[in-house]
Amino acid sequence: MSVRGAPTGCGTLASLDGLTVLVTGATGSFGQRFVARTLAESKLAKLIVFSRDELKQHDMRVAYPDEPRLRFFLGDVRDKERVRRAFEGVDCVVHAAALKQIPAAEYNPFEFVKTNVIGAQNLIDAAIDCGVRRVVALSTDKASSPVNLYGATKLVSDKLFVAGNVYSGPRPTRFCVVRYGNVIGSRGSVIPFFRQLAKGGRIPLTDPGMTRFWITLDAGVELVLHALHDMRGGEIYVPKIPSMRVIDLAKAIAPDAAIEVVGIRPGEKLHEEMISASDARRTFDRGAYFVVVSDLALEGGVEERGRPVPAGFRYTSDTNPEWLDVEQLRRLADG
């Protein structure tokens, strides 16, 4: 069973042939899958791993001992000069580096601002200065109508990347954003957390009615590749992915464990949102995904492909027409 989320068979990997691609946060879950896919399935000239963790870079280097296209660059997106140096000669950037843990954000807000907001600004400036042609930034459903600091920093980041297309002026650099929900198999996923707690025979659940969007790592990679191929600048790509009830996930992973309702944590929503009603007038349905287009692009008369969504449309995890049941969740979790 696969999770729908991005167009496939679009020749997107072939579009990277001969190019130099840099991935920030490349030693994370998404980055590692992106690196594996692009090295195996494309003929890119060079793939640069940019991250701040030397141990994870060492482990990745060991995993690809004979890959001449792979380069490693230690650095932090907070360091503007280091980012600029890394971007020299780069054609495309995938920006996956971020601080992401909601509770940590509430207690360490300045650190999240430095990485998620100032880091985004540094990346935009460096990309323009170095003549990078295309930048895709990864976002989150937490950035739509945010209620926690992490989501707020990612909303600011999204707006910076969209506005970067105006900031670049006549230069060739173009920016877009990819926004999706919880990732199956990612580091920090709720699945290993639930499995560990299930050993004690009890799983704490925030709320029985809580819902979340769900996507696989491969579907996330496919959407980013499609965005690199399709973007003209200023888009927010939102995949059509299934929802799941958190209580169903608990039942799928630990059917014999007792469930204890503990209440929603600070900064959490009962349901997630990827497109708000206020964005409906700028949102287009393109089959496997939605695209939210910037006001600047609409004012410029850009002809959009796709069908406008109805006025007041919202894309939320509780009203989503596509759902995963307990058995489907179990197969995905085991896969």
Q: Retrieve residue 67's tokens.
A: 């890959």
- Contact between residue 254 and residue 195 where contact means Cβ atoms under 8 Å apart: yes
Please check whether residue 4 lies inside any domain of the structure.
Answer: no
Please check whether residue 60 lies inside any domain of the structure.
Answer: yes
Please check whether residue 102 lies inside any domain of the structure.
Answer: yes
Percentage of the chain lying above the pLDDT 90 cut = 74
The continuous run of DSSP H or E covering 1 comes out as none
Task: Look at the chain and report how many structural domains it folds into.
Answer: 1
Query: Average pLDDT in the 1-14 region?
Result: 54
Query: Average pLDDT in the 212-225 region?
Result: 94
Active site residue 142: yes
The continuous run of DSSP H or E covering 95 comes out as strand 92-95
Please check whether residue 107 lies inside any domain of the structure.
Answer: yes
Per-residue pLDDT, 10: 43
Please check whether residue 2 lies inside any domain of the structure.
Answer: no
Q: Which of 46, 56, 142, 159 is the catalytic position?
A: 142
Helix (H, G, I), strand (E, B) or coil at 13: coil
| Whole-prediction pTM | 0.93
Chain-wide mean pLDDT for the chain? Answer: 91
Amino acid at 115: T
- Which residue range(s) make up the domain with 76? 14-181+216-241+275-315
- Contact between residue 164 and residue 126 where contact means Cβ atoms under 8 Å apart: no
Q: Which CATH number do you get for residue 77?
A: 3.40.50.720
pLDDT digit string (tens) for 310-324?
A: 999 999 999 999 999
Please check whether residue 136 lies inside any domain of the structure.
Answer: yes
